[in-house]
């Protein structure tokens, strides 16, 4: 049994998509440290700096909605919204999608080697609602597995957004009162 686990465990490393979603970091890339705590969150729609078509702009709204949903699931904040008046007890999350490419699932499945790859990069900014001062950023840089096959075919921009939204929510929860 242990032998089988030793053979299977490394396989899970290859099942994940390539890329990362960072923890909350300051402008220099270090760990963002602050003593501010918030009871409300406003998650604004993300902008499109990817140069992609209008589907990327719509994805900025979808990504913000996914983040709101994941933050709400934590139950750590009194309110989670997409707009409203920000105050001293409000954390603002916004940002930009910097690369967006849905790719082609068929090419990923049957050809691999990077053909049809999907990409999702975004910068999520955390700001203090009282003065709009940036507290830190979560950077997402995700792409599909280059070797192809069924695993790569299922790695979509939507799945990357969902994973990134969970990480952003986890970082936001650390700032809850």
Taking a C-beta distance cutoff of 8 angstroms, is the pair 164, 122 a contact?
Answer: yes
Domain boundaries, the chain: 2-173
State the pLDDT at residue 43.
98
State the pLDDT at residue 21.
83
What's the pLDDT band for 19 if we cut at 50, 70, 90? confident
What's the pLDDT band for 109 if we cut at 50, 70, 90? low
Query: In this structure, what DSSP letter does residue 45 have?
Result: P
- Compute the C-alpha angle 153/163/121, nearest 5°: 80
Give CATH for domain 2-173.
Answer: 3.40.50
């Amino acid at each position: 049994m242990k032998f089988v686990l030793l053979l299977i465990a490394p396989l899970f490393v290859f099942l994940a998509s390539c890329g990362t979603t960072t923890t909350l970091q300051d402008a220099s890339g270090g760990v963002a440290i602050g003593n501010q705590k918030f009871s409300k969150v406003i998650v604004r729609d993300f902008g499109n700096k990817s140069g992609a078509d209008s589907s990327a702009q719509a994805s900025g709204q979808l990504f913000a909605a996914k983040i709101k949903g994941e933050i709400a699931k934590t139950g750590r904040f009194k309110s989670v919204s997409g707009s409203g008046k920000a105050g001293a007890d409000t954390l603002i999350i916004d940002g930009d999608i910097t690369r967006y490419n849905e790719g082609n699932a068929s090419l990923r499945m049957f050809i691999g080697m990077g053909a049809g790859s999907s990409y999702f990069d975004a910068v999520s900014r955390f700001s203090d609602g009282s003065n709009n001062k940036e507290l830190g950023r979560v950077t997402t840089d995700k792409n599909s597995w280059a070797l192809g096959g069924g695993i790569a075919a299922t790695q979509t921009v939507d799945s990357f957004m969902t994973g990134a939204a969970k990480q952003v929510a986890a970082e936001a929860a650390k700032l809850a009162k």
